[in-house]
Chains A and B, each alone.
Chain A
Amino acid sequence: MSDVQVETPTVADFARTFRRIQAEIHKLIIGHEQAVEELLSALFAGGHVLIEGVPGTGKTTLVKTLGLALNLSFNRIQFTVDLMPADITGTRVILSGDDGRREFSFQPGPVFCHILLGDEINRATPKTQSALLEAMAELQVTVSGTTYRLKPPYFVMATLNPIEMEGTYPLPEAQLDRFLFKVRLNYPGEGELTRIISSTTGPEEAGIEAVFHATEAAERIEALKRLVREVMVAPAMEIYAARLVRTTQPQNSRFVTDEARAVHDEMVNRYVMFGSSPRGAQALILGAKVRALLDGRANIAREDIEHVAVAALAHRIMLNYAALSDGIDAAQIVERVIKSVRAGKP
């Protein structure tokens, strides 16, 4: 951590900075407003993002643009089937010193940065995918028994290609759970596509202006993350978030011990194999805090939780074969859960 001192941001500072970063990103990224907002929300909430989108929708461009706008160090890993964990975390190599002595020295891998893009993460083997677990959760990497700290802010964005599933390795549930949000990038509309064509095929490239100075970018972002944590949460909101998460869990699950739940949903019981983990509730509250600050509030509201519910919970819900055969996806389940909980609110 550098010794740069930044003044404590206010609620207005947060919203202003957030909107400015958004504006810089949208200089290059046409459309995807919600995806960009969720991406930045995850950044300031201190989480990581899984981006799912078909090829050509600007996944990599989005991440690169974010790195440029934030003026933070940025690395990219193209996950392939032969990628090894050491290729990500780094490894110890024998180096010769000036005096001719040879000794093992740790060569940091691409995870040592502020913003990491794991492109097509589902193409690597689970072993390699799991190499990211410690870095994402603990902000540290252990190689050969030695633990190396990662510099905050640390933000991992992994992309998934949902249509080329052959030769891919679906992410383990434990790793999926470590992503705060899952952001979906769909095909742009006709108007957006026209703007993409005109802005990317001309002689001029859109210039991204960094929002922060390189020396204070990390500190400023960390201060904003601390402000997010200061947002107050009424007990009723915590109960609401907890109830949402509990309602995603099917009644017949052997891992559900509390049968006396306030809300039951038949759709969940029918289509869900496993519901959201407690990390889902944390993601709901953190995302809602960012939303509240963007709205100029120091407290979260029910609407904030509901706004981030799909991004925070959908990838944590495991559907069964009945859902696949009936064409039900997790986002539909989350929306149904919101309706059920809202209808059954005390």
Chain B
Amino acid sequence: MSFPSQDRRADEKLGRILGRVGSVRTRLNSLALQHAIFYTLALAIAGGAAVYAGAFLLSPLAFMVGTPALVIVAAIGIASAVGAAWRMRASAVRAAAIADDRAELKGRLSTIVALANHQTRGSLWSYLLEDAIGYQDQFAAARIERRRVSRAIYPLAGAIVLAALAIPISKIKHAPRITPGSGQDDLTVDLDDLHLRPADPGDESGMEVTADAATMRRLGDRLAREGAAGDEAGGNSLNHLVNRARDMAEHLQNKLTGQQTASKQRLNLRLADAGGDQDQNEIHRAPETQKNRHSDVAGQFKQDQPKSNREIDLPSEDDSRQPNSEPSPGGNDESGAEANSGEDSPANQDNSATDRRIQQSGQNAGNGGATHGIGADPDSLFGAPAVSKLGSEGFEIAIEARPVDHGAKGAGHAYVAPKVRAPLSLNQEPDEPVARAAVPAEDRTTIRRVFER
């Protein structure tokens, strides 16, 4: 039998013990909450920094694959962190059990908390309270859990450092991309190696291509072939989806990197030759300083600078002279040498002799292209060039061309695959330049006027 005063004292002791257990519980729950918040922030910041850096460092395709993967990993991590924090939360019984374990109280607090609300507690209840209160210093919240701040602060700090590092990294390293006004050197791309596709409806991000009618026709044919091949392969819709995803990734990259997507790039193309049987077309993207010199070389595809987006790229006066001059080996060599010098010859010097010969022959063909391509086009020969049908239909070709970095020497030059030509047999004779038809005298003035203009 117990007296009321004994019961009151026991209740006071019980209240003191429960209060201490409550403060332990509060601290544990605070740490659990911090765990969830800090890890979520750390993952969000690190993920954002990685996406931001990836926008600068990765190609659109890699960015398109990497970003969703990163987002998924971050989402899983956040869910895991929240789940762990949820498991870390402490009820009163669990807080008492943790305090028992850490203070080596052998279940005293757990028993008290568990039996505190029971009506019948037994004759040893007051002994248990007295026994437990003797250890009250050992189960103070500060001794059970010293930390006020969760260890998850370290990942958060690491994520912030990572985010801070992403800014200089993004400034240092840029992905080589065709951007308007980027001052990129010549870009020579085999048309057969290009992946061409029509711009998506309403897509403002592609590169606008302008060219003379013949070039556009060839590009159109090629595009039609690619489209037909895609249809035959049954992968048209898949390609379409992939392209759209890539465009979206690029759009996101541009937004993140702050690059202007509104100013549409403009690529002016020229055929490398006039004959449709030539299998190599080239795209040259010349800097402003070399514009005139490269425009001498017929058959190069040149990209205009943004400020000259609306300019029509026409041959210069030298161009007008060259078509009239008969193609001679010396002249060809000279123009080829010019082309080589314009294309940063150190890169080409590394190529083998065979490659050099192929390049030269390509330049020869380019000269021929100038005469037989643009010069022979009646639309551009006589009178003002008619507006191309394809161009009038708003035809757009998105071209993704990427220069291959050959190191310090050949920077900006794309790799041109060497062509191997078998030696002629005894029954074969080398190709002779086709005799050109004489231009009627009354037309020469017109032609000269056209080229001068």
- Interface on A for B, CB 8 Å cutoff? 8, 10-11, 227, 230-237, 292, 295-304
Contacts and interface: CB of A to CB of B under 8 A. Distances in A.
A231 B124 contact: yes
Contact of A236 (B93, B121, B122): B93
A234 B111 contact: yes
Q: Give the residue among A227, A230, A295, A304 with the most B Cβ atoms within 10 A.
A: A230
14 contacts: A230-B124, A232-B115, A232-B128, A234-B115, A235-B114, A236-B110, A236-B114, A237-B107, A298-B125, A298-B127, A299-B128, A300-B111, A301-B106, A301-B107
Contacts of A8: 123
A231 B115 CA distance: 12
A11 B107 contact: no
Contacts of B127: 10-11, 298
Contacts of B122: 230, 232
B131 interface: yes
Nearest to A229: B122
Interface string B109-135: 011101100000111110110010000
A232 B106 contact: no
Nearest to B127: A298
Nearest to B93: A236
Interface of B: 93, 97, 100, 106-108, 110-112, 114-115, 121-125, 127-128, 131
B124 to A, nearest CB: 4
B114 A295 contact: no
B110 to A, nearest CB: 5
A240 to B, nearest CB: 10
B113 to A, nearest CB: 8
A235 B91 CA distance: 15
B124 A302 contact: no
A45 to B, nearest CB: 16
A298 B106 contact: no
B100 to A, nearest CB: 8
A302 B110 CA distance: 11
B384 to A, nearest CB: 87
Contacts of A295: 106
Given A236-B93, A236-B97, A298-B131, A230 B123 contact: yes
Nearest to B115: A232
B111 A299 contact: yes
Nearest to A288: B107
Contacts of B110: 234, 236-237, 299
B131 A297 contact: yes
Q: Which 3 A-B pairs have the closest CB atoms?
A: A299-B111, A298-B124, A301-B107
Q: Give the residue among B97, B100, B106, B112 with the most A Cβ atoms within 10 A.
A: B106
A226 to B, nearest CB: 9
B214 to A, nearest CB: 78
B93 A232 contact: no
Nearest to B96: A234
Contacts of B112: 299
A303 B101 CA distance: 11
A297 B106 contact: yes
B91 to A, nearest CB: 12
Contact of B125 (A10, A232, A234, A302): A232
Nearest to B124: A298
B107 A300 contact: yes
B114 to A, nearest CB: 4
A297 B108 contact: yes
A301 B100 CA distance: 10
Contacts of B111: 232-234, 237, 299-300
A178 B107 CA distance: 29
Contacts of A235: 114
A302 B93 CA distance: 15
A232 B124 contact: yes
A299 B114 CA distance: 11
Given A232-B122, A292-B106, 16 more contacts: A10-B127, A230-B122, A233-B111, A234-B110, A234-B111, A234-B114, A236-B107, A237-B107, A237-B110, A297-B107, A297-B128, A298-B128, A299-B106, A299-B128, A302-B107, A303-B106
A337 B107 CA distance: 21
A302 B107 CA distance: 8
